[in-house]
Amino acid sequence: MEEVYPPELDNVLSNLTLFSNLEKITVDFPFDYDENIVFDDPLVVGLQEVAIIESEDSWRELMAASFRAIARNSPENLAQLSSLTIRNLNPVAVSTFSTETFHNFLSRLKSFNLSVRWWNNGVGWNLNTIDTSKNFLIT
C-alpha cells in the first residue's frame, strides 16, 4: 500500500489548508475494467466486512485511505472549499463512505458531484445488473 499511497500523500490530502485558495477537489481513480472488474463482490453487511475486504484488496484500500484523509480536514481550515467531484467511481463498497466523518465533510460542501464508471461487457452484463452495484448502493 505504501508504494501507491505514501505517508506524504496522506499528509497532503488531510491538510488541504496547504492550498489557501482551494475551492474544488476532483478525484478520479483510473480503473482497468478489462482486468479488474469485480463480478462476484460479496454482499456487504457492515463496515467490519468492508474493512476486511479492503485489507485484501489494495484498490479499495487506496480509495478508502484517500477519502478518509480528505474527510479529516477540519471545517474551520477549509471554509473556502465548496465542491467535491468524484469521477468514474468504481462502484464497490468502501468503508469511508459510511462513516460519520465523511458524511460531515460532505454536509459542509455546497456542491457534490458523483459519476459512477459505466461498464458493459457486450453480452448484457452491465454494472447495474450485477451484485457489485447493488452492494455499493447498500453501503
Predicted confidence (pLDDT) per residue in 118-139, tens digit? 666 566 666 566 555 555 554 4
Position 39 scores a pLDDT of 47
Chain-centre distance for alpha carbon 109: 16
User: What is the per-residue pLDDT across 59-105, written as a single tens digit (0 to 9) for each?
Assistant: 888 899 999 999 998 877 677 889 999 998 877 778 888 889 999 99
Tell the residue number behind the cell numbers 485484501, with chain if given.
56
Helical segments of 5-99, H only = 7-13, 33-36, 47-56, 58-71
Whether the CB-CB separation of 55 and 61 falls below 8 Å is answered with yes
Percent of the chain surpassing pLDDT 70: 71
Q: Residues 28-41: what's their mean pLDDT?
A: 60
Distance CA 83, CA 57 (A): 29
Q: Which of 133, 97, 137, 89 is nearest to 115 (CA)?
A: 89
